[in-house]
């Protein structure tokens, strides 16, 4: 089995005006899609963040001709970022698992579960300019609006874990949102609530917020503040577990976290940590260290969502509901055949088919590749300035959605 063809396609997909600590999501979110074909007739697909096409192309020479079953060698040959590798690895595992006639999670050693339970990823947001989207296309600009959005997500998808993306408004607004959400979704009814302001609170603010939230029994505090050491300070004052996808987001962060004990729950992510096999390895580290394991998410299409599904199904240590942005992907905005993957009762089933279990719809892929050429058609910066004329870009840009530099605490 040898890879005979490699195709890398940058695409853009519509995104709603979701608010986070650095601004607003632009109207289009870019992704990079990898496709391979093998000389014995199998195909494989992978997906990752924007701007990874060039580094994947730079590996073309060894990828074409490589046996996708030889994954250890492929990991050694890769030159580039973990994010770029994750798409190539996913495509190789997809093709190799198809040849083995096994679902991907079984091909890499077997599943710990047949389905995965996810968390609702809830945002303050503006209304989408064109009312476009699968869910919650209207505004949610205060705690009441946020609870309404949560109700929509729970009613439509059945999520039991709810994540507040905080850090856009001042901390007292996030506290009020948490209070109202907990009132509406009580712990005794099986609901978990977590909050993530993407490290914009100081140590003192994080402690103050933690003290206020203790009465509402948060599942965890995700990246309230800026570093492993700062989380260790916060932990001296509260028993709420800390979680992170910012200060512990790579294998090189494991040792400092073991030394400083700042983060209790790791949000693994096959894109950031370097592939589906790396997600499993993160699980082993969490088991050894006694840390919890959850899942991080960025906007994704069906290939990444399926890769996350198999990663989570194959990792026994997963013990918190992983995040998923997937509901924010438009109903007709995905690139997989047969429509979007579905949640039921907060859960997504592992597809029964060999490989990832999803196939690329070439027409839909072409449409999103064309959309990229149009460039971002919105000016959502104006929306922010409308509600906060004093707003300034944190990192010198208004891209807002992918944290080129993590923001420093401001509250």
Q: Which residues would be at the binding site for ligand GKR (CB under 6 A)?
A: 18, 20, 165, 196, 198, 245, 296-298, 323, 401
Q: Cβ 222 to Mg ion, closest distance in Å?
A: 5
Give the shortest CB-18-to-ligand GKR separation in angstroms.
6
Whole-number minimum distance, CB 213 to ligand GKR, in Å?
18
For residues 12 to 41, the per-residue mask of contacts with Mg ion, x marking binding by CB under 5 A and - elsewhere, is: ------------------------------
Q: Is 242 in the site for Mg ion (CB under 5 A)?
A: no
Of the pair 175, 200, the CB lying nearest Mg ion is at 200
Query: Which is nearer to ligand GKR, 66 or 125 (by Cβ)?
Result: 125
Q: Which stretch binds Mg ion (CB under 5 A): 237-245, 271-279, 337-345, 366-374?
A: 237-245
Residue placing its CB nearer to ligand GKR in the complex, 32 or 38 = 32
The neighbour count for residue 271, using CB atoms within 10 Å, is 27
Please state the closest distance from residue 404 (CB atom) to ligand GKR, in A. 11
Q: How far, in Å, CA of 310 to CA of 86, rounded?
A: 13
Q: Tell the smallest beta-carbon distance from residue 161 to ligand GKR (Å).
A: 13
User: Which residue carries 């509406």 as its tokens?
Assistant: 184
Which of ligand GKR, Mg ion, none interacts with 321 (beta carbon under 5 to 8 A by kind)? none
- Is the distance from CB of 31 to CB of 49 less than 8 angstroms? yes
Q: Using CA atoms, how far apart are residues 268 and 262, in angstroms rounded to an integer?
A: 16
| 88, interface contact from Mg ion, ligand GKR, none, CB < 5-8 Å by kind | none
Under rule CB under 5 A, residue 48 binds Mg ion: no
Residue 226 interacts with Mg ion (CB under 5 A)? no
Tokens matching residue 355? 């490989």
Structure-block tokens of residue 287: 């088991």
Phi, psi of 119 (to 5 degrees): -105, 145
Report in angstroms how near the CB of residue 20 gets to ligand GKR at its nearest.
Answer: 4
- Which of 311, 340, 331 lies closest to 323, judged by CA? 311
294 binds, among Mg ion, ligand GKR, none (CB under 5 to 8 A by kind): none
Sign of CA dihedral 246, 247, 253, 259: negative
User: Which among 121, 141, 134, 164 has a CA at the least distance from the CA of 16?
Assistant: 134
Among 245, 304, 311, 315, binds Mg ion (CB under 5 A): 245
CA dist., res. 235 & res. 163, Å (int): 20
User: What are the residues whose beta carbons fall under 8 Å from the beta carbon of 347, sequence distance 6 or more?
Assistant: 115, 116, 117, 118, 158
* Whole-angstrom distance, CA of residue 62 vs CA of residue 207: 51
In the list ligand GKR, Mg ion, none, the entry touching 401 (Cβ below 5 to 8 angstroms by class) is ligand GKR
Which of 128, 196, 264, 269 forms a contact with Mg ion (CB under 5 A)? 196
Would you give the binding string for Mg ion spanning residues 138-177, x where CB under 5 A is met?
Answer: ----------------------------------------
Residues annotated catalytic, as ranges: 165, 296
C-alpha dist (Å) from residue 32 to 196, 214, 335, 341, 370: 26, 41, 12, 19, 13
DSSP-derived 3-state class of residue 381: helix
Give the E-state strand segments of 255-370 in sequence order: 265-268, 292-295, 323-324, 347-349
The listed partner (ligand GKR, Mg ion, none) that binds 174, CB under 5 to 8 Å by sort, is none
Residues that bind Mg ion (CB under 5 A): 196, 222, 245
């Amino acid at each position: 089995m040898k890879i005979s063809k490699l195709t890398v396609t940058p695409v853009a997909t519509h995104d709603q005006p979701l608010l986070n600590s650095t601004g607003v999501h632009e109207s289009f979110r870019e992704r990079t899609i990898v496709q391979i074909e093998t000389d014995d007739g199998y195909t494989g697909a992978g997906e990752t963040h924007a701007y990874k096409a060039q580094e994947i192309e730079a590996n073309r020479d060894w990828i074409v001709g490589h046996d996708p079953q030889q994954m250890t060698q492929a990991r050694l040959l890769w030159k580039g970022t973990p994010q770029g590798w994750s798409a190539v690895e996913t495509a190789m595992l997809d093709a190799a698992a198809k040849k083995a006639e096994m679902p991907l999670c079984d091909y890499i050693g077997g599943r710990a579960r047949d389905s995965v339970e996810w968390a609702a990823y809830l945002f303050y947001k503006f209304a989408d300019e064109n009312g476009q989207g699968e869910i919650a296309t209207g505004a949610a600009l205060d705690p009441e609006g946020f609870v309404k959005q949560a109700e929509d997500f729970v009613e439509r998808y059945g999520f039991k874990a709810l994540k507040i993306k905080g850090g856009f408004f001042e901390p007292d607004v996030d506290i009020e949102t948490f209070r109202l959400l907990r009132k509406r979704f009580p712990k005794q009814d099986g609901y978990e609530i977590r909050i993530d302001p993407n490290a914009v609170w100081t140590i003192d603010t994080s402690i103050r917020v933690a003290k206020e939230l203790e009465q509402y029994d948060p599942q965890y505090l995700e990246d309230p503040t800026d570093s492993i050491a700062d989380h260790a300070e916060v932990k001296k004052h509260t028993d709420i577990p800390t979680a992170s996808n910012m200060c512990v987001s790579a294998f090189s962060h494991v040792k400092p976290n073991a030394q400083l004990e700042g983060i209790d729950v790791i949000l693994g992510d096959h894109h950031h940590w370097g592939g589906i096999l790396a997600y499993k390895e993160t699980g082993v580290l969490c088991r050894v260290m006694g840390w919890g394991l959850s899942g991080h998410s960025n906007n994704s299409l069906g290939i990444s969502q399926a890769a996350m599904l198999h990663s989570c199904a194959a990792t026994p240590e997963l013990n918190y509901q992983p995040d998923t942005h997937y509901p924010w992907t438009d109903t007709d905005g995905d690139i997989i055949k047969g429509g979007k993957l579905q949640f039921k009762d907060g859960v997504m089933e592992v597809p029964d088919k060999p490989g990832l279990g999803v196939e690329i719809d070439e027409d839909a892929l072409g449409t999103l590749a064309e959309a990229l050429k149009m460039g971002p058609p919105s000016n959502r910066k104006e929306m922010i300035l409308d509600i906060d004329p004093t707003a300034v870009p944190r990192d010198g840009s208004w891209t807002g959605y992918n944290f080129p530099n993590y923001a420093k605490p401001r509250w």
